[in-house]
Structure 1
């Protein structure tokens, strides 16, 4: 069984608030202050959850440099009050960074929920790309 530390619990809360502020900033027509606050909270929460060293190792691997540069460049543009362009760059960087995780997540969702149409869709999405 996996043990969850107090720091990880705090990190989940901080990352959750970060996602809330990002979604709220998008709903309010890309409000740059809410988006910037959400980005900072999300990155802080991620470093609390997996640790600062593992976070740096994840973002700065050689084969993830392109995704990291787009994601952090988007964060920087949001902080400099260019929210629309910054969020587009962040989204591209996010999908580039986590593209190996999506088949695993879709496979889990397809097996966890027994919804007729959605489970078939998730299983199809699981097999469509590789883990590498």
Structure 2
């Protein structure tokens, strides 16, 4: 049985496959991308924070990085419609199919590759709120 956290991340990757203008969606990819693979989206968990809300429940806040990788003469311009499409998909159902309490965007951070200025890693962070049982991270 997977944790609620992993189920949420898998669901985000699944729905973002419908993002316009991409060649793929990856979860925490560690291999380098070939030049012809871009544009792609990478889903990465960031920080998780937890507070007990009752004797049996935990309230979690997870930061999820939705990284849009593009290559081109003006990579930030290439990333813009992809970011818009992905954002629209995520905001269409802010409960992510009743998996979470809410998802909200928090930051957008463009990162240029100094060795290859045609490469952009646009990191779009979303804060996801969800709950689990205190004794089992797979149940809510």
Shorter chain as normaliser: what TM range? under 0.3
* Structure showing the higher strand proportion among its residues: 2
Higher RCO structure (Cα 8 Å, ≥6 apart): 2
TM-score (norm 2): 0.23
* Structure showing the higher helix proportion among its residues: 1
TM-score (norm 1): 0.24
